Amino acid sequence: MALEAITEGPVLCEQLNEHVAMVTLNRPEKRNAVSPELASALERIVEAAENDPQIRVMILTSCDDRVFCAGADLGAVAAGNAEGLETSRSGFGGFVYSTRMKPWIAAVEGIAVAGGMELALACDMIVVSENARFGLPEVKRGLIAGAGGIHRIASALPRNVANELLATGENMTGVDALRWGLANRLTVPGETAAEALKLANAVVENSPLAVQRTLAAARESVGEPDGAGRALVARHLNALRKTEDFREGPRAFVEKRAPVWKGR
């Protein structure tokens, strides 16, 4: 299955180069709030990207520099469609719990709060602009961030910093997101997509299977004791040893040439 271009609807998709594609949240009139239609569309794109052998990195961004995503569409919730904001396989937004091996980079401009922050936290890397604002304000409404926000922010930030954000519901700036390690790179407003593409291209230089197995092992070993972590890494290494790319890397080094990754 090939990843197809999508030029209209709540989620857009375009291939930027041979191995990188960009997904754009496209509900500016609703501040990109997640609707049932957006969740279904995003899940389909994730699955198509996973099954497209040419795609190695995905970028998730917004059509509006003022807002990445404001969370759940409360209009849909009020109309009794709250369950549609999640999919059975992938959770909120059709994304936060999706089964993915290929890396995703969030390019965050403006507001990323509640479910919007949870979409960003579900990505493997985050590029932010100086105007970015992250927050999990659920406690202000008597709720909790149940789509990955609590446990992922607790892993991404120092304990006390994470606890303050969770307990107060206040926002974190893009500058502080970089300072505390939530973000990988910081840009001026309007430049996150371009910077995310630079980061994606740096990832693309490497073996796609090695990247996928490395990130999977890193995700799975979070919080595990050393012995369990070693076992997880060994399992991914054993799977990688059976691939052509595992042999291509050392061979290209010996032959003093650039490796030609096949992704198999």
Average pLDDT of the chain to the nearest whole number = 93
Statement: residue 82 has pLDDT above 80: no
CA distance 228 to 49: 30
CA distance 32 to 218: 30
Q: Are 209 and 245 in contact (CB under 8 A)?
A: yes
Residue 245: which CATH number?
Answer: 1.10.12
CA distance 146 to 144: 6
Does residue 221 sit within a domain? yes
Q: Are 32 and 68 in contact (CB under 8 A)?
A: yes
Residue 63: which CATH number?
Answer: 3.90.226.10
As given in the structure block, the two tokens for residue 14 are 């375009």
Q: Does residue 73 share a domain with residue 33?
A: yes
Q: Does residue 199 share a domain with residue 243?
A: no
pLDDT tens sequence across 169-180: 999 999 999 999
Statement: residue 1 has pLDDT above 70: no
pLDDT tens sequence across 220-258: 888 778 888 888 889 898 898 999 889 988 888 888 888
Q: Does residue 144 share a domain with residue 93?
A: yes
Number of domains in the chain: 2
Mean pLDDT, residues 94-120: 97
Give the residue numbers marked as catalytic. 118, 138
Does residue 40 sit within a domain? yes
